[in-house]
A and B are shown apart, each in its own frame.
Chain A
Amino acid sequence: DAGVIQSPRHEVTEMGQEVTLRCKPISGHDYLFWYRQTMMRGLELLIYFNNNVPIDDSGMPEDRFSAKMPNASFSTLKIQPSEPRDSAVYFCASSPGGGKEKLFFGSGTQLSVL
């Protein structure tokens, strides 16, 4: 398996623009997670899905952030409008049986909002 695939690897945008991050989880994994990593706050869980259904989005910082999982092989994290403080590395991870088991992380998307 190719692992969790995220795109793009790098995204540079201007404040106010819409940003869409994409993730393809490992086939057969029932859980998908979106994390954000910054120097100040470390690794933060934003939202996670079970069988394409959002289970907990309490980590989503504001209404500007939204996430969808239209099918088992694809998820998006959207920021609209983007702000400089959204600059971070965003990771997608998947797990076969939930967070108590191994998380498989993608390589992340480095987002820079100017």
Chain B
Amino acid sequence: GENVEQHPSTLSVQEGDSAVIKCTYSDSASNYFPWYKQELGKGPQLIIDIRSNVGEKKDQRIAVTLNKTAKHFSLHITETQPEDSAVYFCAAPQGASGTYKYIFGTGTRLKVLA
């Protein structure tokens, strides 16, 4: 089955700097990779996702890159702001098309220091 590893577990950056969170997956059939942001006391919220037919996707200050050969994908946040402070989770499906079971990474607690 799928195994997802996420690093680092905690990350502190100065406001305005960039933050990068990396995830690796094991199932080469996986083809959809979402990133979720979880704020304190709330459920996870999708912030960006990428499908395996592209290598990079951007949405304002957030970007995700995917390297299918190496089986890893990364979340990039530029010009970080205090409101970016949260726990971020990557996920990968257990299997390819037709599966709805996601394996989540263990999370990265991001702290943006003002």
Contact = CB atoms under 8 A, between A and B. Distances in A.
B93 A100 contact: yes
Contacts, number: 51
Interface of A: 4, 31, 33, 42-43, 45, 48, 50, 55-56, 59, 91, 93, 95, 98-100, 102-103, 105-108
Interface residues of B, number: 21
Interface in B1-58: 32, 34, 36, 41-46, 49
Nearest to A108: B43
A107 B43 contact: yes
A91 B102 CA distance: 14
A100 B32 CA distance: 7
Contacts of B46: 102-103
Nearest to A92: B43
SS class of chain A's interface: helix, strand, loop or mixed? strand
Contacts of A102: 34, 46, 49
Contact of B104 (A4, A43, A55, A100): A43
A43 B89 contact: yes
Contacts of A56: 100-101
Nearest to A42: B106
